[in-house]
Structure 1
Amino acid sequence: MAQIRGTAGYHLGSQPSFGGPGRPDATNDPSPLDAIREQTSKIEDWLDTLSHPVKPYIPAIGRFLIVVTFLEDALRIITQWSDQLTYLHDYRHSTSLICF
């Protein structure tokens, strides 16, 4: 699978980059940023191969977590109903018409 890195395929190679050959003080020594980019590229490739078997299931996992979040919130509301009524009455000064 081809990946786009660097200039993201916008053909910006003609523009001088920071620390590139366009600068008058540029040397042939490799930049520390180039070494970091090389290492992060290796890590990114490793993570991509590691996560490849899980990728088809990510949408289902996300939907499941959203549903579980709503269920947990509903359970919390039910179990803490009296605390919520106390809060509404004491701090928000609501009437008892809302608090059934």
Structure 2
Amino acid sequence: MKPYVAALVLVAVGTVLVAFAVVNALLLYYAGVPKTALNVTAPIVGQMKIQGVPDPYYVGVGVLRGVLLLALGLIGGKLIGVGLAEWRERRREEAVRRYYEQYGYQHQQY
């Protein structure tokens, strides 16, 4: 059972990363963005105050968090894929080894 530990660790870490990214993405999606007032100077109109604009700092931080969560989710998905491939490879090697042992052949790995 020891050869399967690496595959299980990869799948577990990938699952945790994907779950973390999904939960935080949902929290980010439902989080409220504070509104602010912007003072704009236009050549024709002059000075204007625009109310109810989303705070650019929070929007920028939200975009950055979204990109990082996307990267974490993709890394987690890749780890799950690698872990499952490793699991299948170990199972195949074990089946081949058992087959050769059953029929008394010496299995050589190349």
TM-score, normalised to structure 1's length? Answer: 0.30
Greater fraction helix: 2
Greater fraction strand: 2
**Higher RCO by CA contacts (8 Å cutoff, separation 6 or greater):** 2
Which of 1 and 2 has greater Rg? 1
